[in-house]
């Protein structure tokens, strides 16, 4: 009834880990680009644009990521739209990432004194020039530690992609356990792999926070 854990199983888990890293990187990169525009919308002078961005953030953050993936993968099929597991997982996590990074970065920009904008305007800079040359360099210092911290959560949340059939680390562990019936061993190894990825990122986030001295601003 019980099988033996072999090198082939370990390689299968490592392959799942590779796809976990790829999915995390894609979601972080594409979600970061989208999140930048969400942040710009949140600090826009146009009230309607700020409201649209706020509604978007509230909808995304107010619904589980798992449900969002279900809608993309199963819901669109009702309309005859076939979405591959990678596309459903990647798009769902990109939307999720954009809402959180947009708010993290909006908070960082909002923490900069308004007098910085006023001083830049007195120097003849446009609002975009002030944002690019004065505000964002300061906000970057504040936003970097929580951004890296969010990346840790993003890596762990890739495990939800297993529900749509995407073969990442958690899904690989489920497949192996279905044949070995050794959940403690199989998922223990998977947890160790997650730890190997997430712990360095967590340590890096704490190190950045100390080096950037964010807490004493």
Could you give the CA distance from residue 4 to residue 55 in angstroms, rounded to a whole number? 51
Q: Does the CA dihedral 103-109-113-114 come out positive or negative?
A: negative
pLDDT band at 3 (very low <50, low <70, confident <90, very high): low
The predicted model gives 182-187 an average pLDDT of 92
What local confidence, expressed as pLDDT, does residue 2 receive?
58
What local confidence, expressed as pLDDT, does residue 214 receive?
47
For 181, residues 6+ apart whose C-beta sits below 8 A from its C-beta are 1, 2, 3
Question: What six digits make up the tokens of 199?
Answer: 């712990």
> Taking phi first (over 0 means left), then psi (-120 to 50 degrees means alpha), and beta for anything else, what does residue 4 get?
beta
- Average pLDDT of the chain? 88
What local confidence, expressed as pLDDT, does residue 1 receive?
45
Please report how many Cα atoms fall inside a 13 Å half-sphere around the Cα of residue 95, on the Cβ side.
21
Of all residues in the chain, the percent with pLDDT exceeding 90 is 53
Homologous superfamily (CATH) of 9-216 is: MetI-like (1.10.3720.10)
For 212, residues 6+ apart whose C-beta sits below 8 A from its C-beta are 141, 142, 144, 145
- Interval 9-23: pLDDT, tens: 999 999 999 999 999
The predicted model gives 149-153 an average pLDDT of 93
Give the residue with greater pLDDT, 59 vs 209.
59
The residue extents of the domains of the chain are 9-216
Q: Provide the terminal-to-terminal Cα distance of the chain, rounded to the nearest Å.
A: 60
């Amino acid at each position: 009834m019980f099988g033996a854990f072999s090198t082939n199983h370990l390689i299968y888990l490592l392959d799942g880990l590779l796809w976990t890293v790829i999915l995390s990187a894609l979601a972080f990169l594409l979600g970061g680009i989208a999140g930048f525009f969400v942040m710009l919308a949140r600090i826009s002078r146009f009230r309607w644009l700020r409201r649209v961005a706020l509604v978007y953030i509230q909808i995304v953050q107010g619904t589980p990521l798992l449900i969002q993936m279900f809608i993309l993968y199963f819901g669109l099929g009702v309309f005859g739209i076939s979405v591959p597991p990678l596309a459903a997982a990647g798009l769902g996590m990109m939307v999720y990432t954009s809402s959180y990074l947009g708010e993290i970065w909006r908070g960082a920009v909002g923490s900069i004194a308004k007098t910085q904008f006023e001083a830049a305007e007195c120097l003849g800079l446009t609002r975009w020039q002030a944002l690019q040359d004065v505000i964002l360099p300061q906000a970057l210092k504040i936003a970097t530690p929580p951004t890296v911290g969010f990346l840790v959560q993003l890596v762990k949340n890739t495990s939800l992609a297993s529900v749509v059939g995407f073969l990442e680390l958690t899904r690989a562990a489920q497949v192996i356990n279905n044949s070995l019936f050794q959940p403690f061993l199989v998922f223990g190894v998977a947890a160790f792999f997650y730890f190997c990825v997430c712990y360095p990122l967590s340590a890096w986030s704490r190190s950045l926070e100390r080096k950037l001295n964010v807490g004493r601003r």
